[in-house]
Structure 1
Amino acid sequence: MELIFRADAYAQRCTATVTAADDRGIRLDRTVFYPTGGGQPGDTGTLTAGGSVIRIVDTVKGDGADEIIHVPEPGTALPAPGTAVEAEIDWNRRHRHMRMHTAMHLLCAVVPGSVTGGQVGADKSRLDFNVPTGSLDKDAITAAINERIAEDRPVSQRWITDAEMEARPELVRTMSVKPPTGSGTVRLLDIEGVDLQPCGGTHVARTGEIGAVEVVKIENKGKQNRRVVIALVDA
């Protein structure tokens, strides 16, 4: 299956062919839809075949490494295998996820401690940190993130081998999610001069595209665990 979003996060639509459809959802030979994973929600959107429009309410991973299932609205008539469709994501929602996911990498870069969990949202997102000592300052973190956004640093991806990943454990900041290995390579998200770590999500091309963000809340979630919630200012 061709995962177009992996090479081009800005691709909003593509033509595709239905390869299977059952009670779990619809599979295509190629897709722009990102599946739920790494704390980022799956895309929503539509599949259009002729004059028929199928609303996709979620996208999830299937059984295979690259199998993606497009989940239609309940009660939708499923297309037959071989049907040609145009797949189109809800771009506004996806782009907000891209901005947020990139902002979370900046948050990860300015807050000390390992990450114990996280969730990307269209308006608000969170990261949980294991912070051994000291307290976190909401205003200082907000200022540090926005400073890096204003620098408009380039954001890119690159790949390293499983062996290289194993040799560089310091690249892994998230304790709760292990980088996917076994296929021979691991994708790294590189925010120039700020952050470099494994990530399979979708991101903007430059930090300036994120727009202003704000730390809206810091919560204690345990003796050393702190939850930092950020929001897009234009939400």
Structure 2
Amino acid sequence: MQTTQFTASTRVTYPAGGTRGRSEVAAVVPVGDRYGVVVAETPFHPLDHTWPDQPADTGTIAGRPVGDCVTGAVEHGTDTVHLGGDIPVRRGTPGWHWLVVHVTDAPLEGEVELEVDPGVRRSLSAGHTACHLSALALNAALSGRWRKEAPADALGNPDFDQAAITASRIVPGGSRDVYRLGKSLRRKGFTADGLAEELPEIAARAGELLKEWVAADAPVWIDSPGPELTARRTWHCGLPGGEASIPCGGTHLARTSELGAVAVALELSADGSELTMRTTTG
């Protein structure tokens, strides 16, 4: 099995929408009873172990199915690749190279073709774009529930999403976000009293904003300071009320109109400690 002394992080093309590429195999590492193929440059979006909101791309490498695609890290000057949750350092730690590891059923070498499944990519991109828009719409719909000044989102509304989110999962064509309504959020000034009764109205207000934003055919783009996997990328959307931006390492559609429609459903836990938002598109 091929090993190497790594000298660079994997370059990625998915932030610009890339789904195909050709690159040289840099290494093959064991992943259980399968093989993790590392190339110099890839269009594949791997699962991020630190914030695993968007699932990995599917597709093929050298014509073989990519059964999984994970983040790897290796300390400079060594050849031991740590995968996913076994990575012992923070993402972007100096002196470490960050890799996209394509898990397949055979070792590969030389130059290989990489192809991402475009249908899966598009459905996940739709879910991720809708997730960000729904978070902004929820912030606006809840803006009257803050009794203290709070950090604002890019549109000037109190950023409930960032203050309260505990989990986010992108699914094909949608997302599921969970918010903690605990003492910490209340101390920051958020009022949760009477929230259950107001949920239908809040969802309706968010839905109206989303309808407006989809109809606006607003442009969506990713700002990336470099091609490395760990480059700190930012999602942007030119909404009618101003340009929105959110730090993001995922994939997205190019315009809001491509979503067709976006709907949100809100659910409060029985004890009132958690709010769940489910977003759907199409």
- TM-score w.r.t. structure 1 length? 0.76
The answer to whether the Cα contact below 8 Å between 1:128 and 1:228 also exists between their aligned partners in 2 is yes
Separation in 1 of the partners of 2:243 and 2:207?
16
Among 47, 54, 57, the alignment partner of 1:36 is: 47
Find out whether 1:136 has 2:143 as its counterpart.
no
Find out whether 1:21 has 2:28 as its counterpart.
yes
Across the aligned residues of Structure 1 and Structure 2, the Cα RMSD in angstroms comes to: 2.1
Q: Partner residue of 1:46?
A: 60
Q: Partner residue of 2:245?
A: 196
The answer to whether the Cα contact below 8 Å between 1:124 and 1:230 also exists between their aligned partners in 2 is yes
1:117-157, Cα deviation, whole Å (9 max, x unpaired) = 21001143111234542343333323321221111111123
Task: Report which of the two structures shows the higher radius of gyration computed on alpha carbons.
Answer: 2
Query: 1:197: how far off?
Result: 1.7
The answer to whether the Cα contact below 8 Å between 2:137 and 2:207 also exists between their aligned partners in 1 is no
Q: Which amino acid aligns with 1:13?
A: R
> Identical aligned pairs, as a percentage?
28
The answer to whether the Cα contact below 8 Å between 1:106 and 1:194 also exists between their aligned partners in 2 is no
Query: 1:12: how far off?
Result: 1.6
Q: Which amino acid aligns with 1:220?
A: L
**Where does the alignment leave 5 or more consecutive residues of structure 2 unmatched?**
1-9, 75-96, 140-159, 182-189
1:28-87, Cα deviation, whole Å (9 max, x unpaired) = 111000011240111110012xxxx21002211001453010112xxx22213xx21110
1:173-219, Cα deviation, whole Å (9 max, x unpaired) = xxxxxxxxxx7x7322121225322111111121112221222x422
Query: 1:116: how far off?
Result: 2.4
- TM-score w.r.t. structure 2 length? 0.64
1:12-31, Cα deviation, whole Å (9 max, x unpaired) = 21011111113221111110
1:158-178, Cα deviation, whole Å (9 max, x unpaired) = 368xxxxxxxxxxxxxxxxxx
Q: Partner residue of 2:218?
A: 153
Q: Partner residue of 1:3?
A: 12
